[in-house]
Chains A and B, each alone.
Chain A
Amino acid sequence: MLKQEKISNLLAHVVLLAVLLITIFPLLYTVMASFKTNAEILSNPAAIFPVKPTFQNYIDAWNSDVLDIKRMLFNSTYYTVIIVFATLFSTSAGGYVFARGEFRGKSFWFAAFSLLMFFSMGSVTIYPTLKILNFLHVPKSLPGLMITKIFGVSIVNIYLVRSYVYSLPKGIEEAAEIDGCSFVGIFFRIVLPLLKPIMATIGVLAFQGSWNDYLMPMIYTLGDPKQRPLIVGVIALSKSGESAASYNLVFAGTTLALLPVLIAYCIGNKYFVSGLAAGAVKG
């Protein structure tokens, strides 16, 4: 019996390990290729580890004309940071209001926001959105896209905050109300500090979502490559005619674009996973 158990455990490890290797391989290959010269990538594609590891690709990418890494890193960073903070504020306020607020139209707005999950017109809504932005004198640009995201409704995050606020004891808020604290005051002074754990989850998800964003930033920066976030720039380079001559730059750029999320995942793994339900619904 014991021996049988041991064998089946060994078999389990073999299967698990095989899947583990397949999971790691594409990432390992990409990161390793970023330390190879272009000639090595093209002449010996079967090799996974570089013969003579070189940092030259990163130095080249940093000074490159075809891939303006500095600029794109900056674009990705401000795009991500601003959207993360806006999401944190709007979803915490939204979740709090829907959990504790009393106002006419509460269930209407909640249902209306929720309905967005069930029907989508997809990419064609970009036309009207651009017209509206134009009407507000905002050009088609990365900041223009950010405005639509900052004011965007993220209902899944509101759900998360709302159920978290429900789990908080009401007594503290009532005590504050009796002491003369207003509804908004209670939010900022009492509820918001208590929301830290759920805010970490939402912050991590918003960071992941906006750093990884591709299709929308691509559309909004078509007219001006200078505004491209990193991922948009890397994909654009890989699709351009110069890509064969600059495979090494594509790999270095890909690695740089992967790193922030990978590092965040290594540090805050549990926040990514605890937001699983949210991430899955968002697709």
Chain B
Amino acid sequence: MKIKTNTTSRVRDKKFREKERMCYLLLSPQIIGFLVFSIIPMLWAISLSWTYYDTIKTRFVGWENFLLLFHDSNYWRAVVTTLQFAVMKIPVELPLALILAVLLSRKIKGAGFYRAVYYLPHVISTALVALVFSNIFSFFGVFNALMQKTGLMSIPVDWFAEKMSAMWIIVIADIWKTFGVNVLYFIAALANIPEDVYESARLDGATRLQTFFRITLPMIAPTLQIIIMLSLIGTLGTSEMVLVLTNGAPGGLTYTVNAYIFNNYAPGITNGTVNVGYGCAMSLVTGLMLSVITLGYMKMSSGVKEVY
């Protein structure tokens, strides 16, 4: 900020200083909070990555934690599970949301009502969604009972006994919670396509499918890119849903990275002493990987913007 130094500078200076003081006064709660409850804990936790720390004594260990982490099969299994989770969820959720958005974008009766109900699950607590779905899919739950009643299954299935079925339950619950947001995003994107493009396609004799793939999809590509990114960030960071719905069942196989770290290193959750420093190293590596994936995706997909 440049301060003028001519003859009136003393008055201006004083006024500027006063305004500056007031700015800092209004901002002070957040600056304090930012330093005390965001930055310091973050840097502190990062610095613990090079130590052995069991909440009582701290000992510097160099790169040992990172070397151990490299060979930690449990951790890497959680990483793979997280990626699996994203691969299972996004290709189901986004096409579903897009189809619904296309249907709702036509002049259809009750579109506003459908939209409002689809968005409803998103306002509900993730923990409660997980609880509700764990009740529905429990061994004696309503899903098994209904399936038996309608004759689709002869015996009840323990959905949480195998990794894949448990993963699908998590995916279903998560899609149920978030698809409405993507429907709204897609509706907004579709509304931005000018009507005359469709008209000229119709005059040229394009079929519905052709119109969709040649016009609609390229026209919403920039929005699609953002939606995929948000979906990716949300999916890779999942922890609460997994912690409440399966808590790793069966045998810790369904832990995503963040759920795994939480379950093993959050204070009061683990029994006995753990090396928190190791947990910090794990969080640091995970945080960096997530940042790299997000930034990398942003960079990679920026070309999509120039499709049309």
Interaction A to B: yes
List residues of chain A with CB under 8 Å of any chain B CB: 9, 12-13, 15-16, 19-20, 22-24, 26-27, 29-30, 33, 42, 44-46, 48, 90, 93-94, 96-97, 101-104, 106, 109, 112-113, 116, 118-132, 148, 150-153, 182-184, 187, 208, 211-215, 219, 222-223, 231, 234-235, 238, 250-251, 254, 257-258, 261-262, 264-265, 269, 272-273, 276, 279-281, 283
> Which residues of chain B from 27 to 57 have a CB within 8 Å of any chain A CB?
27, 29-34, 36-42, 44-46, 48, 55
**Interface 9-mer from B81-89, B157-165, B235-243:** B235-243
- Judge whether B262 and A215 touch: CB under 8 Å: yes
A209 to chain B, nearest CB (A): 10
- Residues of A contacting B267 in the complex (Cβ-Cβ under 8 angstroms): 126-127, 130, 219
- Judge whether A215 and B128 touch: CB under 8 Å: no
- Judge whether A276 and B184 touch: CB under 8 Å: yes
Query: Which of B27, B119, B132, B141 is the one whose CB lies under 8 Å from A109?
Result: B27
CA distance A250 to B138 in the complex (A): 14
With A9-B108, A103-B23, A222-B268 known as contacts, the answer to whether A113 contacts B30 (CB < 8 A) is yes
In this complex, the member of B20, B104, B133, B276 whose beta carbon has the largest number of chain A beta carbons within 10 angstroms is: B20
With A104-B20, A234-B131 known as contacts, the answer to whether A219 contacts B268 (CB < 8 A) is yes
CA distance A109 to B108 in the complex (A): 48
CA distance A183 to B276 in the complex (A): 46
- Judge whether B121 and A208 touch: CB under 8 Å: no
- Residues of B contacting A30 in the complex (Cβ-Cβ under 8 angstroms): 132, 135
- Residues of B contacting A261 in the complex (Cβ-Cβ under 8 angstroms): 123-125
With A15-B99, A46-B145, A116-B38 known as contacts, the answer to whether A280 contacts B283 (CB < 8 A) is no
Which A residue sits closest to B46, measured CB to CB? A121
- Judge whether A9 and B106 touch: CB under 8 Å: yes
With A9-B106, A104-B1, A258-B124 known as contacts, the answer to whether A152 contacts B33 (CB < 8 A) is yes
Query: Which of A119, A151, A265, A281 is the one whose CB lies under 8 Å from B37?
Result: A151
- Judge whether B133 and A26 touch: CB under 8 Å: yes
- Judge whether A94 and B125 touch: CB under 8 Å: no
Query: Which of B123, B133, B145, B149 is the one whose CB lies under 8 Å from A265?
Result: B123
Contact with A along B127-140 (1 / 0, CB 8 A): 11101111110001
Query: Which of B55, B116, B124, B233 is the one whose CB lies under 8 Å from A269?
Result: B116
With A103-B1, A283-B233 known as contacts, the answer to whether A129 contacts B132 (CB < 8 A) is no
Which A residue sits closest to B27, measured CB to CB? A97
Show 9 A/B contacts (Cβ-Cβ < 8 Å), sorted by A. Answer: A19-B96, A23-B176, A101-B27, A102-B23, A119-B291, A153-B34, A184-B22, A219-B268, A273-B119
- Judge whether A121 and B128 touch: CB under 8 Å: no
- Judge whether B30 and A151 touch: CB under 8 Å: yes
B295 to chain A, nearest CB (A): 8
- Judge whether A26 and B127 touch: CB under 8 Å: no
- Residues of B contacting A46 in the complex (Cβ-Cβ under 8 angstroms): 142, 145-146, 148-149
With A12-B106, A103-B24, A269-B116 known as contacts, the answer to whether A122 contacts B283 (CB < 8 A) is yes
A86 to chain B, nearest CB (A): 8
B133 to chain A, nearest CB (A): 7
Which A residue sits closest to B268, measured CB to CB? A222
CA distance A54 to B16 in the complex (A): 67
- Residues of A contacting B122 in the complex (Cβ-Cβ under 8 angstroms): 279
Additional A-B contacts beyond A27-B124, A46-B148, A125-B44 (19; CB < 8 A): A12-B103, A22-B176, A23-B120, A90-B30, A102-B19, A113-B34, A121-B45, A121-B284, A122-B287, A123-B283, A127-B41, A182-B18, A182-B22, A208-B123, A213-B125, A219-B269, A223-B268, A269-B116, A276-B184
In this complex, the member of B26, B40, B129, B243 whose beta carbon has the largest number of chain A beta carbons within 10 angstroms is: B26
Which A residue sits closest to B143, measured CB to CB? A45
Query: Which of B20, B22, B37, B116 is the one whose CB lies under 8 Å from A152?
Result: B37
Query: Which of B19, B96, B128 is the one whose CB lies under 8 Å from A257?
Result: B128
